[in-house]
Amino acid sequence: MLVLGVESSCDDTAAAVLADGRKIVANIVSSQDAVHSPYGGVVPELASRQHIRNILPIIDAALKQAGAGVGDLGGIAVTRGPGLVGSLLVGLSVVKGISYRWRVPYVGVNHLEAHLLAIFLHREIEFPYLALLASGGHTLLYVVRDFGDYRYLGGTRDDAAGEAYDKVAKMMGLGYPGGRVIDELSKSANPKAIRFPRARMKKGAHEFSFSGLKTAVWHYLKEQGGSAAPTAEVAASFQEAVVDMLVAPTMRAAVELDVKRIVLAGGVAANSRLRKKMTAAAASEGLELHVPPPALCTDNGAMIALAGYHMLRRGLRDDLYLNADADLTL
Ligand code: KG4
Ligand code: ZN
């Protein structure tokens, strides 16, 4: 069965075609980075307008790449939340229109669920697994027990990990999105050059916190002024603190809950230092670690099609009354 997946929850317009819930036959992501970069963050109104411009050409291009027509689809999956409501409504409205006109069933997908399952686009793994979902909007830990069966463990008390990357990059004048830039810049620098503080959370709480670190970088830059360490050293030292604060609670949760497999998901899972340190930490505890390739960690339509495929298989269908939900939880 072919499923079209459509994603427009934030600043990427994406569409993909997935065969039988596993094989990507088309995957197109149109980034809006150039539009938002001058502002150091996503401007919601500009994002919605870009989605309106891009969405039909992107869907057409995905179908063309797959060599399929709308009539060949067994279903359509579209992100219905969480995200920016104006952005979400563009994808949802277009999919409702296509579904109604061509009589193809559709389902609204939770963006978080799609990230948690994205590993299956890369390889089949066994349930249960502990998933760390770290993106621009979320930093969450879940135990994934089956398709559609998720146990929430905890999340960030303040900023998301990706948000911290983006805000620190903005402070340092590195543009948006900050994660990839800081990742690249850090490769040439000593991550121990500056010792930024790590937030320590209550034992057993499965929580994260990044706003103190962000403030510490801000104070460091302000106090040091022109004599601050080279940009790459600040970036690498900041990144080291973020990575430590992601690895420690994840490992603690895996050991406490006796889960043998860890999966990384979300845009921050594309980070090379996180992948490296998590690999070492998992190996030292004798745990499996599974990480999708970077392009499947960041937002894409294939993960939406995958989550939607499993919903359609369970007999789920949505109707034209479905609304976008900016604060949708899992
Ligand atoms: O999952 P995603 O594409 O969109 C959301 O659902 O938020 O994640 C985007 C976030 C941004 O904050 C971006 O800075 C971060 O992921 N990101 C990275 C890297 N690539 C993207 N953070 C650290 N290292 C990277 N290589
Ligand atoms: Zn995302």
Q: What is the pLDDT of residue 80?
A: 98
- Quick one: 123 exposed, middle or buried, by C-beta within 10 A (0-12, 13-18, 19+)? exposed
CA of 29 to the centre of ligand 1 (A): 14
CA of 218 to the centre of ligand 1 (A): 21
CA of 14 to the centre of ligand 2 (A): 11
Q: Which atom of ligand 1 is nearest to the CA of 160?
A: 12
Which strands, in side-by-side order, build the sheet including 261-265?
A: 149-155, 139-146, 129-134, 261-265, 288-290
CA of 98 to the centre of ligand 1 (A): 30
A 10 A CB-CB count for 200 gives 9
Nearest residue (CA) to ligand 1, atom 10: 136
Asked whether the CA dihedral 95, 330, 261, 203 is positive or negative, the reply is positive
Q: What is the pLDDT of residue 266?
A: 97
Torsion of CA 314, 320, 323, 324, to 10 degrees: 70
Give ligand 1 pocket residues (Cβ under 6 A).
10, 135-137, 162, 165-166, 177-180, 183, 266-268, 270-271, 298-299
Amino acid at 12: D
CA of 178 to the centre of ligand 1 (A): 8
Helix/strand/coil (H, E, C) string of 210-228? CHHHHHHHHHHHHHHHHHC
Q: What is the pLDDT of residue 203?
A: 80
Q: What is the pLDDT of residue 251?
A: 97
Q: What is the pLDDT of residue 200?
A: 86
Q: Which atom of ligand 1 is nearest to the CA of 298?
A: 3
Opening angle at CA 159, ends 215 and 288, nearest 5: 115
H runs (alpha helix) in the chain: 33-36, 44-66, 85-102, 111-117, 161-171, 178-186, 211-224, 231-257, 272-285, 294-297, 301-313
Q: Which atom of ligand 1 is nearest to the CA of 242?
A: 23
Q: What does the pLDDT profile of the chain (330 residues) look like in tens digits? A: 999 999 999 999 999 999 999 999 999 999 998 999 888 889 999 999 999 999 999 999 999 999 999 999 999 999 999 999 999 999 999 999 999 999 999 999 999 999 999 999 999 999 999 999 999 999 999 999 999 999 999 999 999 999 999 999 999 999 888 999 999 999 999 999 999 999 988 887 899 999 999 999 999 999 998 888 889 999 999 999 999 999 999 999 999 999 999 999 999 999 999 999 999 999 999 999 999 999 999 999 999 999 999 999 999 999 999 999 999 999
Phi and psi, residue 127, nearest 5° = -90, 155
Amino acid at 282: A
Round to whole Å and give the CA distance between 25 and 237: 40
Residue of 159, 165, 275, 276 to mutate, ligand 1, most atoms within 8 A of C-beta: 165
- What would the DSSP string read from start to end of 155-183? EBSSS-HHHHHHHHHHHTT--SSHHHHHH
